[in-house]
């Protein structure tokens, strides 16, 4: 297995005004020199991208958006395109988050178009997959994940996969306080890597960054990241406070150092 530095992204969802976002980003940047060895990404709401970009300038912390539309420009009221994100300083964009699938009707095909649009503009997708509780309870977890992976990565070649971060986020663990156990998460992560190996070959699959998301906290991040196939986190609630987010990054670095 190729060991990768931990990748920790904070998904701020629909939280924080510009001023609040600036304050949170500033607090994280202040300690970021201490957190060398991790790739840290912040995903504020669109309205705060500009403010947060200014704060991140000259720091190792990267900027992400939470969504995009696949067209480059045109009469699509309310939408934001990949070139616009690039122009706003985003290096990453979250695509296919379960909240977007659930509340805004995103389909695997739409996710695939968004991934391609992001890549075309040089913005790296953080591509989310995950099963609901009823899907897990009826034994369909891997069917769902396979379908989402297949659909999202349709006609995307091996050369491009290295620009895509995958996030496994069981829907039942998001914002619920119920974290998947390290074993549960590792089982799905290893299966995801197997699927990638089948499609892209072992070398490419081993290099893929696969994040876990769903109630990640300072207290569970060490055990999760100690798992072989867990390369980092997509953090929601706990990323809204500098202290807990930074602590998660520290725990991830500690686990990484001890990882074989």
Q: Please state the closest distance from residue 126 (CB atom) to ligand PGA, in A.
A: 9
Which residue(s) pair with 168 in the sheet?
A: 129, 212
| DSSP one-letter string for 50-93 | HHHHHHHTTSS-EEEES--BSSSSSS-TT--BHHHHHHTT-SEE
User: Would you count residue 236 as binding ligand PGA (CB under 6 A)?
Assistant: yes
Asked if 175 is part of the footprint of ligand PGA (rule: CB under 6 A), the reply reads: yes
Nearest to 58 by CA among 25, 83, 84, 9: 25
Q: State the residue number with the nearest CB to ligand PGA.
A: 236
Q: What are phi and psi of 165, to 5 degrees?
A: -100, 135
Q: From the candidates 39, 99, 131, 169, which is the catalytic residue? A: 169
CB nearer ligand PGA, residue 43 or residue 123: 43
| String of contacts with ligand PGA for each residue 196-235, x by CB under 6 A | -----------------xxxx-----------------xx
The token pair that represents 129 in the structure block: 């997959």
Tell me which of 169, 186, 227, 251 binds ligand PGA, using CB under 6 A.
169
Active site residue 189: no
- Quote the least distance from Cβ 174 to ligand PGA, whole Å: 4
Q: What is the Cα Rg of the chain in Å?
A: 17
135 catalytic per annotation:
no
Q: Are 193 and 108 in contact (CB under 8 A)?
A: no
Would you tell me how many other CB atoms lie within 10 Å of the CB of residue 76?
11
Among residues 118, 152, 237, 242, which is the contact residue for ligand PGA, using CB under 6 A?
Answer: 237
Task: Write out the catalytic residue numbers.
Answer: 97, 169
Interface residue list for ligand PGA (CB under 6 A): 11, 169, 174-175, 213-216, 234-238
């Amino acid at each position: 297995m190729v060991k990768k530095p931990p990748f920790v992204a904070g998904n701020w969802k629909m939280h924080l005004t510009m001023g609040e976002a600036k304050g949170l980003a500033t607090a994280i940047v202040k300690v970021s020199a201490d957190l060398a060895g991790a790739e840290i990404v912040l995903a504020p709401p669109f309205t705060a991208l500009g403010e947060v970009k200014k704060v991140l300038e000259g720091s190792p912390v990267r900027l992400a958006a939470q969504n995009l539309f696949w067209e480059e420009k045109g009469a699509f009221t309310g939408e934001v395109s990949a070139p616009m994100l690039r122009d706003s300083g985003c290096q990453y964009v979250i695509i296919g988050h379960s909240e977007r699938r659930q509340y805004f009707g995103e389909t695997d095909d739409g996710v695939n178009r968004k991934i391609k649009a992001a890549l075309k503009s040089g913005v790296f997708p953080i591509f989310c997959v995950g099963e609901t509780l009823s899907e897990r309870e009826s034994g369909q977890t891997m069917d769902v994940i396979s379908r989402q992976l297949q659909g999202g990565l349709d006609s995307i070649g091996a050369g491009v996969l290295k620009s895509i971060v995958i996030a496994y986020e069981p829907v039942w663990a998001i914002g619920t306080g119920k974290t998947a156990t390290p074993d549960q998460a590792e089982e799905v992560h290893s299966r995801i890597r197997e699927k990638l190996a089948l499609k892209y070959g072992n070398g490419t699959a081993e290099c893929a960054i696969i994040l876990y998301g769903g109630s990640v906290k300072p207290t569970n991040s060490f055990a999760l990241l100690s798992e072989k196939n867990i390369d980092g986190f997509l953090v929601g609630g706990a990323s809204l406070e500098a202290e807990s987010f930074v602590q998660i990054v520290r725990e991830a670095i500690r686990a990484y150092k001890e990882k074989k």
